[in-house]
Amino acid sequence: MNMTNAAIAEKGVGALDVKISSKGVDVYYADNHAIKNVSLDVLDHTVTAFIGPSGCGKSTFLRCLNRMNDTIDICRVTGDILLDGDDIYAKSVDPVQLRAKVGIVFQKPNPFPKSIYDNVAYGPKIHGLVADKADLDEVVEKSLRRAAIWNEVKDRLDSPGTGLSGGQQQRLCIARAIATAPQVLLMDEPCSALDPIATAQIEELIDELRSNYSVVIVTHSMQQAARVSQKTAFFHLGEVVEYGDTNTLFTNPEDKRTQDYITGRFG
């Protein structure tokens, strides 16, 4: 792992491979034009942050990246989104396989009405990632540990996941997502219900995930974006106003609107 980290550091952010590339993406909810002509490349081994005021389309764009918008009848996506160079909206692509590669943690925690254990074991089981029960136990424990919730639930793995507190549910959903070992992890405000300690632990997890995966995170906290991400995109009214290195964007924004937003002059 240290090797990889060193390799990343050597290569520098700019030299990394493009993992997901989007060109001219438009999204409509019936007549509502929610995403307008967005082109944006998500790099491998990088944490990309989406920031922007509420309702500007961050979640919508995030959901496009693993075709979760397919489940919304009125939603229409145009433009190209490529994962490792292949169009994910092509007819031949099976969204099921795509989502196994591009995992997502939703804005609202949605644990299944199953035990905590079964919630985490769900993904590995359906994808046949584990050989036996012992393997599964290990994956579940590891995922829960990495999502910083193991200590809270280790004595009640059999009790329902829906019985946890909001913040615990959020971490359970993170554990559930990383248990399937996706190549890209999309996280929609993963820390919105967490206390500072749990937030710090999740940020640590995100940083650690970077060594193997590409992570996209939506957040309303500038500090969080600045802490965990290498790239930041600022969304405003369905457009990407500015996209670039996090450091540059926060210290030296090109656009007036970005500057106003990060300095808190509008929301």
Ligand X SMILES: Nc1ncnc2c1ncn2[C@@H]1O[C@H](COP(=O)(O)OP(=O)(O)OP(=O)(O)O)[C@@H](O)[C@H]1O
Query: Among residues 49 and 98, whose Cβ is nearest to another protein?
Result: 98
Choose one: 22-30, 43-51, 66-74, 254-262; the region binding another protein (CB under 8 A): 66-74
Choose one: 92-100, 192-200, 207-215, 228-236; the region binding another protein (CB under 8 A): 92-100
DSSP state of 17: P
Q: Work out whether strand 231-236 and strand 47-51 pair parallel, antiparallel, or are unpaired.
A: parallel
> Given candidates 4, 32, 97, 159, which one binds ligand X under the rule CB under 6 A?
32
Does residue number 68 form part of the binding site for another protein (CB under 8 A)?
yes
Binding mask of the shown chain, residues 91 to 120, with x at each position contacting Mg ion by CB under 5 A: ----------------x-------------
Cβ neighbours for 216, distance < 8 A, ≥ 6 positions apart: 42, 47, 48, 49, 50, 62, 65, 184, 185, 186, 187
Range 245-254, long-range pairs (CB < 8 A, 24+ positions) = 245/13, 246/49, 250/222, 250/225, 250/226
Least distance to another protein, CB of residue 21, Å: 21
Does residue number 190 form part of the binding site for ligand X (CB under 6 A)?
no
Q: Looking at residues 36 to 65 of the shown chain, list those that interact with Mg ion (rule: CB under 5 A).
A: 59
Strand partners, 83: 20, 86
Closest CA to 89 of 101, 97, 77: 77
The CA distances from residue 94 to 22, 27, 75, 214, in Å, are: 18, 20, 18, 21
Q: Work out whether strand 47-51 and strand 214-218 pair parallel, antiparallel, or are unpaired.
A: parallel
Residue 111 site contact among another protein, ligand X, Mg ion, none (CB < 5 to 8 Å, cut-off depends on kind): another protein
> Given candidates 12, 31, 54, 91, which one binds ligand X under the rule CB under 6 A?
54
Residue 190 site contact among ligand X, Mg ion, another protein, none (CB < 5 to 8 Å, cut-off depends on kind): none
The burial class, CB within 10 Å (0-12 / 13-18 / 19+), for 138 is exposed
Does residue number 107 form part of the binding site for ligand X (CB under 6 A)?
yes
Choose one: 50-58, 79-87, 122-130, 212-220; the region binding another protein (CB under 8 A): 122-130
Which stretches of the chain are assigned E, i.e. beta strand? Answer: 18-29, 32-43, 47-51, 75-83, 86-87, 102-105, 184-188, 214-218, 231-236, 239-245
Chain contacts with another protein (rule: CB under 8 A): 66, 68, 71, 73, 95-101, 103-104, 106, 108, 110-114, 122-123, 126-127, 160, 162-163, 173, 176-177, 180, 182
Chain contacts with ligand X (rule: CB under 6 A): 29, 32, 34, 54-60, 72, 107
